[in-house]
């Protein structure tokens, strides 16, 4: 939080965790400038001026803070990633939200040079930050462009909040000893087995065929495919094998870190990121990762004191994997290219439904930081899908008297035979020469 807080001091409990656009940092000192806007009028032959009050002056504030790697308070793991995210946040358009330790949530504007980042060869993985800012004034409603730019940033902030919550939960129950350690190891094994199984599915050749160039049929085509113009069966097979090896190695790193919650959280995050990166398209990413969002071992039934703590340990381990999966689903949704307005709405409703369920869980548990992080992430996803799908054509029901060839229908509906392939994907006929008499397709 800051150096102001002293252990056991009630003052420290009143301070809020400092953060900028959801990215937390430690505070060394803070200062502000306050006053009134004054127009000073001086007159000939009068000793005293007239100070005309023009209202409250703009408040200027300066905060000096820091980011350090493996910080248990902020949950920072890779300090270089956080610094780059902080710089990106400072360069985002529009007002920003900054949490001040004593003043709380502020809407601010950063002038040129408003964020200074200082690093030193003798400081190691420690960066010093200086924020110089002014209040932003009236709230500006976020634009679609702003949502697109902020989606990855909110994902980083959410991952940091997840890691902080996990570390604190594990530290709270660690005092119960070997039974808790065993439960963490067992639950970790169950979760990793499920994740690796899904990774094998994701890197299978059948799932990767959609990246082959050319028209390979509707069963391996659709939205978000054709990502590579040079892929071959051989290269795809080699990429799948490499991705599986990488996930196995990262899974082993998670298992090896069960006694270190900070390293455990960092390795779990990388594992889920690796899983998403191994999946060919955003559409497939959403489908496969969604099935992991509810992955959980059999619940523990034990009302003893140790049993209750084992339940907490199990839920904590399950939660960190599920939450990281949800963040990757949100990132996949932001990258998704919908085929129609209806498609964008469908993906939006699916993803926001998953995020809203997590928001409720965290709200009920009193984890305000994680709840707010997921709320911000959900808003960014909605804005992003609105931007990518808001201007697309809607789906319309078409009805014909007889079964007709797809080429004829593409020319009749769109006056463009080149759209025959997309029409086949949408109508899904037994054979393109015999299209259904009734089907839904793009209106124009």
pLDDT digits (tens, 9 = 90+) for 375-385: 989 988 888 88
Confidence band for 215, pLDDT divided at 50, 70 and 90 = low
* Ranges 56-65, 283-292, 396-405: which has the least confidence: 396-405
Percentage of the chain modeled with pLDDT above 90: 20
- Considering only residues 48 and 222, tell me which one the structure prediction assigns the higher pLDDT: 48
pLDDT at 317: 92
Give which of 271, 272, 215, 212 is closest to 239, Cα–Cα: 212
Q: How far apart are CA 88 and CA 419, in angstroms?
A: 40
Structure token digits, residue 258: 């069960």
* Ranges 184-188, 206-210, 248-252: which has the least confidence: 206-210
pLDDT at 361: 92
71 phi and psi angles, rounded to 5 deg: -80, 120
Residue 356 in this model has a pLDDT that exceeds 90: yes
Supply the mean pLDDT for the chain: 82
> Which long-range CB contacts under 8 A does 353-356 form with residues at least 24 apart?
354/290, 354/293, 354/326, 354/329, 355/326, 355/330, 355/381
Residue 127 in this model has a pLDDT that exceeds 80: yes
What b/e sequence results for 350-360 when a residue is b if at least 16 CB atoms lie within 10 Å of its CB, and e otherwise?
ebbebbeebbe
- Considering only residues 73 and 431, tell me which one the structure prediction assigns the higher pLDDT: 431
Q: How far apart are CA 146 and CA 154, in angstroms?
A: 12
Structure token digits, residue 183: 């439960």
- Considering only residues 428 and 225, tell me which one the structure prediction assigns the higher pLDDT: 428
Q: How far apart are CA 131 and CA 136, in angstroms?
A: 14
pLDDT at 359: 93
pLDDT at 293: 87
Confidence band for 142, pLDDT divided at 50, 70 and 90 = very low
Give kind and range of the element (H or E) at residue 233: helix 233-256
Q: How far apart are CA 291 and CA 344, in angstroms?
A: 20
Task: List the beta bridge partners of residue 66.
Answer: 26, 128
Whether the Cβ atoms of residue 423 and residue 409 lie closer than 8 Å to each other: yes
């Amino acid at each position: 939080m800051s150096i102001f807080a002293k252990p056991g001091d009630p003052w420290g409990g009143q301070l809020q965790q400092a953060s900028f656009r959801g990215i937390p940092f430690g505070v060394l000192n803070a200062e502000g400038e306050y006053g009134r806007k004054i127009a000073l009028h001086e007159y000939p032959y009068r000793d005293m001026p007239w100070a005309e009050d023009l209202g409250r002056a703009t408040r200027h504030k300066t905060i000096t803070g820091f980011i350090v790697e493996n910080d248990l308070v902020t949950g920072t793991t890779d300090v270089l990633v956080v610094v780059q995210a902080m710089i990106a946040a400072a360069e985002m358009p529009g007002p920003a939200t900054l949490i001040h330790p004593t003043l709380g949530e502020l809407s601010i504007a950063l002038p040129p040079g408003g964020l200074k980042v200082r690093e030193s060869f003798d400081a190691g993985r420690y960066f010093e930050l200086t924020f110089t800012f002014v209040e932003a004034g009236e709230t500006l409603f976020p634009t679609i462009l702003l949502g697109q730019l902020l989606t990855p940033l909110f994902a980083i902030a959410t991952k940091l909040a997840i890691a902080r919550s996990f570390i604190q939960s594990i530290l709270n129950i660690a005092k119960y000893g070997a039974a808790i350690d065993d439960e963490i190891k067992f639950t970790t094994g169950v979760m990793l087995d499920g994740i690796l199984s899904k990774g094998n599915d994701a890197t299978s050749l059948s799932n990767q065929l959609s990246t082959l160039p050319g028209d390979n049929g509707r069963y391996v085509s659709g939205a978000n495919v054709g990502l590579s113009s040079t892929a071959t069966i051989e290269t795809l097979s080699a990429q799948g094998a490499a991705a599986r090896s990488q996930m196995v190695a990262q899974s082993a790193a998670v298992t090896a870190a069960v006694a270190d919650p900070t390293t455990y959280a960092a390795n779990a995050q990388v594992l889920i990121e690796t899983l998403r990166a191994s999946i060919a398209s955003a559409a497939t990413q959403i489908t496969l990762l969604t099935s992991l969002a509810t992955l959980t071992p059999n619940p523990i039934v034990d009302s003893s004191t140790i049993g209750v703590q084992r339940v907490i340990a199990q839920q904590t381990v399950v939660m960190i994997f599920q939450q990281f999966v949800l963040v990757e689903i949100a990132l996949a949704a932001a990258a998704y290219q919908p085929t129609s307005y209806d498609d964008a709405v469908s993906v939006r409703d699916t993803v926001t439904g998953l995020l809203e369920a997590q928001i409720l869980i965290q709200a009920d548990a009193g984890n305000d930081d994680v709840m707010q992080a997921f709320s911000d992430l959900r808003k960014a996803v909605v804005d992003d899908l609105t931007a990518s799908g808001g201007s697309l054509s809607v789906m319309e029901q078409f009805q014909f008297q007889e079964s007709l060839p797809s080429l004829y229908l593409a020319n009749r509906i769109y006056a463009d035979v080149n759209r025959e392939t997309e029409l086949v994907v949408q109508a899904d006929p037994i054979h393109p020469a015999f299209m259904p008499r009734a089907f839904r397709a793009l209106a124009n």
